[in-house]
Amino acid sequence: MIEASQIAPGLFVGSFPAEGWTLASAGVGTLALCACDHQPPTERFPGLEVARIDLVDDGSPITREHFVEAMHLAAHLAARVREGRNVLCTCRHGRNRSALVAALALAALTGCGGERAARIVRMRRRSPYGPALTNSGFVRALSMVPGRKARTNETVRNAVEAGV
């Protein structure tokens, strides 16, 4: 069983990922490992594309470099969702680092702003460890992500499917 919550069609947030074929067998195509303290080798996740970012969740503000890296990763993950892959963003508890990346991916997919994406992730993420996006530095960083007008039929469809 996979401990994860669906944020939008094809986009999920979870805690420590199961190793072996479990995720691939469940239909996950791309795994994003978002915790600096949990970066197992790619070979432990056969059949998956593994993306990585070493985010710290100690209550300090996110660095500019980490935020830019998170935005690039989120754009990559959004592209994978558009291709029809299921994407799972993970960290230790599936609450802050993975939720930040998922919120950025949701904004990239739908054109919603970062504040709206954060509200959606908070509403949809059900972690056994507590509520999502409690790191105020991550939430402040998300608040700086502007929404954009949906310009394509695909972006409009993604927004409707995600309930944005």
- Mind listing the pLDDT tens digit for each residue in 19-69? 999 999 999 999 999 999 888 999 999 999 999 999 999 988 899 999 999
Residue 19 pairs in a beta bridge with none
* Domain span holding position 65: 4-162
Report the percentage of the chain scoring pLDDT > 90.
83
| CA 160 distance to own-chain centroid | 19
Number of domains in the chain: 1
CATH number of the domain within which 137 lies: 3.90.190.10
**pLDDT tens, position by position, 100-145:** 999 999 999 999 999 999 999 999 999 989 999 999 999 999 999 9
Neighbours of 89 (CB within 10 A): 33
Edge-to-edge strand list for the sheet holding 49-55: 4-8, 11-14, 86-90, 28-35, 49-55
> Which of 31, 46, 56 has the alpha carbon at shortest distance from 141?
56
Residue 41: its pLDDT value, please? Answer: 93
